[in-house]
Amino acid sequence: MHRRKFLTTAAIGGAGASALAAPAIAQSTPQVKWRCTSSFPQSLDTIYGGAVDVAQYVREATDGAFDIQVFAGGEIVPGLQAADAVQNGTVEMCHTAAYYYVGKSPTWALGAVIPYGLNNRGMNAWLYYGGGIDLLNKFYNAQGLQYLPAGNTGTQMGGWFRQEIGSLDDMSGLQMRIAGLAGQIMEQIGVVPQQIAGGDIYPALERGTIDAAEWIGPYDDEKLGFYQVAPYYYYPGWWEGNLTLNVFVGQEAWNGLPDTYKSLLSTACSAANTAMMAEYDYKNPTALRSLVQQGAQLRAFPDDVLNATYDAALSLYSDLRGSADGWSEIYDSMMAFQAEHFLWQQVAEQNFARFMQMKQSNGQLPAQISGAGAVGGSAN
């Protein structure tokens, strides 16, 4: 099944209405036409495609009665103003990353990802089964928005640097495009953070306006061509163990939907969430090999960078407990679950990975990427 072909009866069944066929739904529900502004350019087909998928699923399941038209970042409003456009009623819905709006309150970031937080599997478990969506909507509803997870990139790369990073000292003074709370943490170790929309990163790197930039991972990064102007590709993206993309719906628009449509939109967003992660997992390995073949130099962040940023993250979270609106309740829930999730990963996931590495070292699996800057190399 093509990922954009949303089987109507299965989708509605997952939402608790499996007895209804598509024609019955279309006949018994009103015509609804919405506009959705994305934070992303169309050229990034995977991340932009999350909104397209949601719209397609809903349109097919209602025989066109619920029609959502998707606009790329910049077509209605700039990409980083997508949530603002929903809040002020310019559009009914947007597809974005909630951490773009930490300038409003740091608590916004918790709906996307926080540095040294959950990976994508942990985030989804907490969102869908740990009460995360309800806790987040307690916060976002107060901002006039309904929050729905609608995509995930998985753990990201650590970004592109024009110069090699040999130690923590080399981070001082760097102008770096980096979003969310990660920018505040980077600032504590001497980096000068810049928030720039995805389509504007390449020219800023090329002109030397910035010295480094993080985006997502190999597939999207190759499309944007960063390796041509900043050859050092660092890992891991400690600030994004996952990135949950989300839909924001204006509260008035959400409340005006029939319950059937609310359920269907939630189910469509959940399907897009799963599909995006699968697509990235499929495309990133090939793209990583391609980037290395084109000259990208893979490097691990030095240990002193990781240690310093981890300490800075914990310090920031401690400060936010007493100041940020709604932070403590959501953060405490997320971290309590992270402790349990990490325990499970140690038992199962990490030991499985250790076994597979042993097989690789014995020549029973393909070798790591070879050549200059091979995986496993270090800047130390």
Does residue 336 have a pLDDT over 60? yes
Say yes or no to pLDDT of 320 above 70: yes
In order of 5, 12, 188, 267, 336, the CA distances from 15 in angstroms are 17, 5, 45, 6, 29
What average pLDDT score do residues 275-283 get? 97
- pLDDT at residue number 365: 62
Among 80-94, 100-114, 324-338, 339-353, the least confident range: 339-353
Across the chain, the runs of DSSP E, i.e. the strands, are 32-38, 66-71, 93-96, 145-152, 159-161, 175-177, 192-194, 212-213, 232-235, 244-250, 297-300
Does residue 115 surpass a pLDDT of 70?
Answer: yes
264 pLDDT above the threshold of 90: yes
pTM of the model: 0.86
Mean per-residue pLDDT of the chain: 89
48 and 42 Cβ atoms separated by less than 8 Å: yes
With cut-offs at 50, 70 and 90, classify the pLDDT of residue 360.
confident
CA pair distance 316, 303, nearest whole angstrom: 20
Question: 94-106: buried (b, 16+ CB within 10 Å) or exposed (e) per residue?
Answer: bbbbbbbbbeebb
Q: Residue 130 pLDDT more than 70?
A: yes
| Per-residue pLDDT reduced to its tens digit, 148-184 | 999 999 999 999 999 999 999 999 999 999 978 999 9
Is a pLDDT exceeding 60 seen at residue 61? yes
Question: How many Cα atoms sit within 13 Å of 27 on the Cβ side?
Answer: 5
Q: Does the pLDDT at position 249 exceed 80?
A: yes
For residues 302-306, give the mean pLDDT: 96
Confidence check: pLDDT of 19 > 60 = no
Note whether 32 and 257 are within 8 A (CB).
yes
C-beta separation of 95 from 39 below 8 A: yes
Mean local confidence (pLDDT), 199-206: 91
Residue 62 has pLDDT above 70, yes or no: yes
The arithmetic mean of pLDDT across residues 188-194, rounded, is 95
How far apart, in whole angstroms, are the C-alpha atoms of residue 224 and residue 261?
36
Whether 53 shows a pLDDT value over 80: the answer reads yes
Provide the pLDDT for residue 16. Answer: 40
User: Percentage of the chain surpassing pLDDT 70?
Assistant: 88
Asked if the model's pLDDT at residue 5 lies above 90, the reply is no
| pLDDT attached to residue 355 | 75
